[in-house]
Structure 1
Amino acid sequence: MKPIKWLTTGMLALSLTACASYYPIAVDVSPTVEASAGVYRGQSVSLSSQDGRKNDYVIQIEQKDKAPVVVGASNNLKVQMEQALAQGLSNQGAFIENGARTQVTLELQEVLARVIRGHISYDVVQQLRVQLTLQRDGRTITKQYRRSAQAEFPGRLHPELDKVKEALNEQLSLLVKDMLADRDVQQFIGGN
């Protein structure tokens, strides 16, 4: 009886490994920045970031009667988002420097694209949430930004993770754009 149990356990582990090995362990996540110039007149901003997500993966592939497969980011997502925000603020005319009076903290709270298998296609459901905290001279404002999107991609066997990655990058880029376009943020940074 014991050899059969051992053999069954081994076969199950091998089959799970075979399914998981089809997907990469990580994808390149890199938001792009679009920001209009002339918003700030050389105000200095100190920028930092933190990752408060519950999980460190960015894609979760869900198939019926199978354990989910997770895929991480090949680069540091927190750093990517901080760099994108810094580039956008610089494009708008702010100076990014350590020790500036105005401190901006970006916190990642949720970045996940769930890939849900159907019969002849798969749905990609994205949930993104970040928080921006701005502080200066004892004043603080905190802003929450959320993005959610759903798309359906054709595919019978395995989802194409390049399409999922592109969709995720697009939503992350829109999230950065939302922060840069926020009038409350602009007034806080612009006010001396």
Structure 2
Amino acid sequence: MKLIKWLMTGMLALSLTACASYYPIAVDVSPTVQTNGGVYRGQPVSLSSQDGRKNDYIIQIEQKGKAPVVVGASNNLKVQMEQALAQGLSTQGAFIENGARTQVELELQEVLARVIRGHISYDVVQQLRIQLTLKRDGRTITKQYRRSAQAEFPGRLHPELDKVKEALNEQLSLLMQDMLADRDVQQFIGGN
């Protein structure tokens, strides 16, 4: 009897592992920055970031009757977003320097792509929320940036995570573009 119990437990664990192992545990996230130069005239800016998300995964695969499968980012998402913002600000003419009077803090609040299985396709619902806080000489402004998108991808068996990752990278890049093009941010950094 103990042998049967042991075998059943082993088979159950193996079957659960087989289902979950189809998906990678992490995907590479790399937002890109496209912005114009000439916005700033060498204004020094210090940049920091924090990750305030409730969960550390970025993709959640939901299938009826099964436990969700989650996939994280293979690189540090907070660092990726901070580097993209630094690159964008530098392209616009700001000078990134520790201890500068103008401080910019980026906070990740939500970055999630939910993959929901349909009959012959998968819906990918993305929710992104990032906050920027700018401080200088006792003044502070806080800006919230949100993006949501929904896409449908064909697939009867498993979603193609490369397509989900590309969609997520596209939305993160557009969100970064929103931050860099924000007139309030530009006036705050550009002012003396």
Same fold (TM over 0.5): yes
Kindly state the Cα deviation for residue 2 of structure 1 after the two structures are TM-superposed: 5.8
Q: Percent identity?
A: 92
What SS does structure 2 have at the residue aligned with 1:7?
Answer: helix
What SS does structure 1 have at the residue aligned with 2:100?
Answer: coil
* 2: CA distance, partners of 1:150 / 1:12: 35
Kindly state the Cα deviation for residue 139 of structure 1 after the two structures are TM-superposed: 0.3
1:108-127 superposed Cα distances (whole Å, 9 cap, x missing partner): 01101010111110000000
Gaps of 5+ in 2: none
The aligned residue for residue 55 of structure 2 is 55
Kindly state the Cα deviation for residue 16 of structure 1 after the two structures are TM-superposed: 1.4
Kindly state the Cα deviation for residue 5 of structure 1 after the two structures are TM-superposed: 4.8
What SS does structure 2 have at the residue aligned with 1:38?
Answer: coil
What SS does structure 2 have at the residue aligned with 1:145?
Answer: strand
Kindly state the Cα deviation for residue 9 of structure 1 after the two structures are TM-superposed: 3.5
1:97-156 superposed Cα distances (whole Å, 9 cap, x missing partner): 001000000000110101011111000000000100000000000001000000000001
* 2: CA distance, partners of 1:23 / 1:87: 32
| RMSD, aligned α-carbons | 1.2
TM-score (norm 1): 0.96
Kindly state the Cα deviation for residue 13 of structure 1 after the two structures are TM-superposed: 2.1
1:153-180 superposed Cα distances (whole Å, 9 cap, x missing partner): 0001110000000000000000100000
* 1: CA distance, partners of 2:171 / 2:74: 18
Kindly state the Cα deviation for residue 6 of structure 1 after the two structures are TM-superposed: 4.5
* 2: CA distance, partners of 1:10 / 1:66: 19
Kindly state the Cα deviation for residue 39 of structure 1 after the two structures are TM-superposed: 0.7
The aligned residue for residue 5 of structure 2 is 5
* 1: CA distance, partners of 2:169 / 2:90: 21
Kindly state the Cα deviation for residue 12 of structure 1 after the two structures are TM-superposed: 2.6
TM-score (norm 2): 0.96
Match runs of 1:54-93 below 5 Å: 54-93=54-93
* 1: CA distance, partners of 2:111 / 2:122: 19
Kindly state the Cα deviation for residue 26 of structure 1 after the two structures are TM-superposed: 0.7
* 1: CA distance, partners of 2:69 / 2:164: 14
What SS does structure 1 have at the residue aligned with 2:159?
Answer: coil
What SS does structure 1 have at the residue aligned with 2:188?
Answer: helix
The aligned residue for residue 32 of structure 1 is 32
* 1: CA distance, partners of 2:165 / 2:60: 12
Structure 1 window deviating more from structure 2 (1-10 vs 80-89): it is 1-10
* 2: CA distance, partners of 1:86 / 1:53: 21
